[in-house]
Amino acid sequence: MLYVKQDTKEELLHWIKRKQEEMIEIGTEKGISHEETLQCSQELDHLLTSYQRLASINQLRS
């Protein structure tokens, strides 16, 4: 059985929030179609996917 520490989920939530804030800031300054905004969006997607995987693993353990 795979064990996922709660700290890992909390840490991911922290980074998700920071990345969201960063993306909003870049998008506001440079526009939503700017390469930097799109890159930040992809990084946020990766974090969200990682969090969703952890949530799924925890559901399987329950």
What pLDDT band is residue 60 in, cutting at 50, 70 and 90?
confident
Q: What is the pLDDT of residue 61?
A: 74
Between the CA of residue 16 and those of 3, 23, 62, what are the distances in Å?
21, 10, 24
- Nearest Cα neighbor of 15 from 49, 38, 61 is 49
Asked whether the predicted pLDDT for residue 24 surpasses 80, the reply is: yes
More confident residue, 27 or 3: 27
